A and B are shown apart, each in its own frame.
Chain A
Amino acid sequence: MSLVLVEWSLMIAQILLGVAMLVTVYRMVIGPRAQDRVLALDAFYVVGMLMLLTVGIRVGTPLFFEVSLIIGVLGFVSTAALGKFLMRGEVIE
């Protein structure tokens, strides 16, 4: 009973997160300016991190926790660098 509940809730959560990924990709494609695309990329990183957490729960190994931590770090660095680039025109001055 509880196993069924866990598996179905994980499946519903993964479907919802997949739809969220599609919505952010839509904003990334139509985004009128560069900062909208960067913001959508940041949201995409966050949703991908949550998706890997659910995959880790489903598989049952704590390995995916480290993968999602790395994705969080990469999302922070890439969004900060792109914001700096939009502000100044170069990343490192």
Chain B
Amino acid sequence: MTDIPLWAAIIFAFLVVSGAGLTLMGCIGLARFDTFYARVHAPTLGTSYGLVSMALASALYFTLIGGRPVFHEIVIVVFVTVTTPVTLMTLARAALHRDRSEGKPGIPLPAPRSSVNPAPETQ
């Protein structure tokens, strides 16, 4: 491991520890919340703040020890930012479908089609 300047090390330590701590907070929320629909929100703390600060720390470190700008962590950030809403929406729609088909109480009914997307008059 080569040495990096002290200001960079302080920024690096802050980014790494805060990213890991926010990820841990999201996972504790995943374990502690009461309903599934509350639990869906918790791990996104790790995929947004945790991943961004960890990728910034990695880019800073490899830029400083390599002597040239290294920004390939951006690829992971863009990919995860694009795909996380897709997977969690799929999962939440699946859970809603399962809860509705079992008739659990407290689950909102599907919106009537006419109020969301009014059908054109056919006469």
Contact = CB atoms under 8 A, between A and B. Distances in A.
A46 B23 contact: yes
B97 A39 contact: no
Interface residues of B, number: 57
Contacts, number: 182
Given A35-B91, A35-B94, A65-B58, A43 B27 contact: yes
Q: State the main secondary structure of chain B at its contact with A.
A: helix
A41 to B, nearest CB: 10
A5 to B, nearest CB: 4
B50 A83 contact: no
**Range of interface residues on A (Cβ < 8 Å):** 35 or more
Interface string A68-85: 110011011001101110
Interface in B71-100: 72-73, 75-76, 79-80, 83, 86-88, 90-91, 93-95, 97-98
Contacts of A23: 24, 27-28, 30-31
A52 B10 CA distance: 21
Contacts of A47: 23, 27, 46
Given A3-B3, A16-B20, A50-B20, A87 B90 contact: yes
Contact of A50 (B9, B23, B36, B40): B23
Nearest to B4: A2
